[in-house]
Amino acid sequence: MTPAQTIARTYQRIRDHNDPAIFITLRNEAEAIAEAEALAAKDAAALPLYGVPVAVKDNIDVAGLPTTAACPAFAYNPTRDASAVARLRAAGAIIIGKTNLDQFATGLVGVRSPYGIPKNSVRADLVPGGSSSGSAVAVGAGLVPLTLGTDTAGSGRVPAMLNNIVGLKPSLGLIPTAGVLPACRTLDCVSIFTLTVDDAMTALSVMGGYDAQDPYSQRREVGSLTAFPHGLKLGVPRSGQLIFFGDAQSEKAYADALKRWQSLGATLVEFDLEPFYETARLLYDGPWVAERLLVIRDLLASAPDAVHPVTREITLAGNRISAADTFAALYRLQEVKRVADATFAGIDALVLPTAPTAYTTEQVLANPIELNSRLGTYTNFVNLLDLCGLAIPAAMRGDGIPFGITLLAPGGADAKLASIGRVFHADTKLAVSGKAVPQPELAPVAAPPSDTIEIAVVGAHLTGMALNRELQELDGKFVKETTTAADYKFFALSGTVPPKPGLLRVAEGSGAEIVVEVWSLTPAAFGTFVAGIPSPLSIGTLKLADGSQVKGFLVEAAATEGARDISSYGGWRAYMADKK
């Protein structure tokens, strides 16, 4: 089909589906088709989203369409696209409309809008999930293959589960938020809804990247998909820590998902979930409620009845937060972040239920705040801890309610989560969306370009560590995490700033396996990187556990005299976490 035919079909599907609560504003169909026809003059191969119809949550600016945030009294008419939308257009996407949401992106249920409640695409009596309700339903109902949401406390993940689709919540600052109406500006992310993980990564590769116009943009790389890693370790909560609010079917679905991970070769490692629960409580019991208030306090003062009653009740609580309360919460958050860092020292990602259960619209309208809060049990802490997340379908329960899991990892590991999540989703063989469409065959991951050089890093250059930016600034690509052969000793070097380890080769089999990350660099970037390595470190050839060889960091033997042997930790993250 041509792009114009695809766009025409999209509008016909919207008419046939006949749910006026999904979209707040639809773009003029003739205008959208004309834009699609103009793509014929462009090189399709150079446009990764050539002719793809996209819908955008109505708290994200699209030039020519009003931004309402589901509050007519607040509406304004932007003259330029949000940065994320502009990047979609530049990649060939066609914007077809603005989708409904929980007003001012406050809610996880999708029922707090004067524009109606979108019907869940899987089971009509269920809530659609929020706040990105219209965006999730538009994908789940087969109206468009890609939509944008936002995610502050789970709004890009909970509705993904409830509509049996993929929800990608990127690392903070990876997709610019310029042109996005804030909920909590320090925590907001533009999120992505698609049918598959690969589609979500295509969209992320288009929108991700630094934006000098956005003060919250960060210099983070999207990364590339890799093969499913050997020795994958996934964190699961300790026995008795999970909460399902009496939903035995969700509890069983989660247990089955863990068995699937094990069958794929993952090792499950228990961790303490309580600090994460504590962080979640900070979001709505702490000063971030006041941050939500900032956006609409003038409207609340001049026309309080224009704000949804539940939204009004939640945000007005921000008036009770003092400056002292704010600093106390920030101090505690910093302490809990250290605990979270230590948790990830020995694992690749956490695997949690996306939500503990599901509720009908009738149930939520009768108990709007408590049930909404329950849906955020496993999502509210994520942005406060600067984690990235990927929500993927895991099962279709016997009662027709979809169940999903979410992978979580430190910021910057988006491609890593996608690389493992895509394999899990494919292995479920679940039909996608509310239309029960068969999953496409999982495409093989392209091998790293032959004109790159792989290098193994062991210390301060690991993802999230102090010097990882040096790899990112050279456009380095994360390839995989693995371990060396047991031919090395590992030392904490003295007097290095930032702290650095040294990897010393010893007799074959007389050392320990040490965790390394393998990155790829162009030859020019590799030369630049190596030229900046200070003595006593150097680049040599490392032997990995699978017998392969790769360039990597080694240390001069003289520098290890008197240095602490930390080989027993098995890696730098574990040592640094214990040191804290």
Residues classed as catalytic: 57, 131, 155
d(Cα 302, Cα 286) in Å, to the nearest integer?
A: 25
> Which residues neighbour 370 within 8 Å (Cβ) at sequence distance 6 or greater?
none
Which two tokens mark 464? 């999230």
Query: Tokens 């939903």 identify what position?
Result: 247
d(Cα 492, Cα 411) in Å, to the nearest integer?
A: 25
d(Cα 287, Cα 294) in Å, to the nearest integer?
A: 11
Question: Which one-letter DSSP state was computed for residue 39?
Answer: G
> Do 133 and 23 contact (CB within 8 A), yes or no?
no
Which two tokens mark 347? 């694992």
d(Cα 546, Cα 482) in Å, to the nearest integer?
A: 9
d(Cα 193, Cα 472) in Å, to the nearest integer?
A: 26
Alpha helices in 431-480 (DSSP H): 468-473
Residue 424: enclosing H or E segment and its boundaries? helix 414-428
Residue 326: enclosing H or E segment and its boundaries? helix 323-343
Burial zone of 509 (CB within 10 Å; 0-12 exposed, 13-18 middle, 19+ buried): exposed
Question: Which one-letter DSSP state was computed for residue 523?
Answer: H
